Chain A
Amino acid sequence: MCLAIPGKIVEFVVGQPHLAVIEVSGVRRKVNIDLLREDGLTLSDWVLIHVGFAMSKISPEHAQEQISLLTMLGEEGEAVRELEGYQFG
């Protein structure tokens, strides 16, 4: 719950510029990208996700580090469960 989840942007949502589809461990979900729209996001960018929002853009290397950390802590299942739990998309 307190850990941010790294996800890769795989699709932008037509007609809903505040949302983007991210992918984590094969799971795809829409998240809110309003906090990062000014930074400019492109496909394949990695972002850190928390409670349904993309909070920051991160490098692919940092994303892999974060994924390894989540796995090491045994939290990767919890992270995927949070994503699957989002109902707003």
Chain B
Amino acid sequence: MKYVDEFRDAGLIRQAAAEIRRLARPDRHYRLMEVCGGHTHAIYRFALEDILPDNIDLIHGPGCPVCVLPMGRVDDGLSLAADPRVILTAFGDMMRVPGRSGSPLEHKARGADIRMVYSPLDALKLAQKYPDREVVFSRSDSRRQHRPQR
């Protein structure tokens, strides 16, 4: 990952916070929504809202399906992958989502046939190449996780 050092530089962060404070108009109330679970996590972990002026509110939006994936869903996929007939496929970001006994990447390291793909068409190609195996393409269903907001 690039820019990690810069994102952890307290001096730079304080400068950025001061600049935001300078730019925020006192006659306005700002509401910024982020829609990434990773951002939500970082905002809470580093208490970023504390260094912003009072008239800026951070609203935590739905998050992409990967970030809000319940652990149980990962476990479902991993229990399928425990079957030696199964090839479990997933996108890269899914590979690191933790299940109760580890992430797909960790299970792969322990011998499960779990393969990263960049397209569901790759999973289809695997199924055509290995007709004796059960190829499972794992995806998260965001419709089940989010209710419509008013």
Interface on A for B, CB 8 Å cutoff? 1-2, 32, 51-53, 74, 82-83, 85-88
A1, A74, A83: the one contacting B2 at CB < 8 Å is A74
1/0 per residue, CB under 8 A from A, across B106-142: the answer is 0000000000111111101100000000000000000
- In order of increasing CB-CB distance, the 5 nearest A-B pairs are A52-B119, A88-B121, A85-B118, A88-B125, A52-B121
Indicate whether A52 sits within 8 Å of B122 (C-beta atoms), given known contacts A1-B92, A1-B93: yes
In chain B, residues 1-51, which have Cβ atoms closer than 8 Å to a Cβ of chain A?
A: 2-3
**Residue pair A74, B124 in contact (C-beta under 8 Å):** no
Count, chain B residues at interface, CB 8 A: 15
Look across to chain A and name the residue whose beta carbon is closest to the beta carbon of B65. A2
Interface residues of B (CB under 8 A from A): 2-3, 64, 91-93, 116-122, 124-125
Query: In the complex the two chains form, is A82's CB within 8 Å of B118's CB?
Result: yes
Contact A74 B3 (CB under 8 A): yes
Please report whether the interface of chain A is mostly helix, strand, loop or mixed according to DSSP.
loop
A32 touches B121 (CB 8 A): yes
Q: Point out the residues of chain A lying under 8 angstroms from B92, CB to CB.
A: 1
Question: Which residue in chain B gives the minimum CB-CB distance to A88?
Answer: B121
A87→B91 contact, CB < 8 A? no
Contacts of B118 in A (CB 8 A): 51-52, 82-83, 85-87
Q: Within the complex, what minimum Cβ distance (angstroms) separates A13 from chain B?
A: 14
Nearest residue (CB) in B for A52 is B119
Minimum CB–CB distance for B138 against chain A, Å: 13
Q: Look across to chain B and name the residue whose beta carbon is closest to the beta carbon of A18.
A: B121
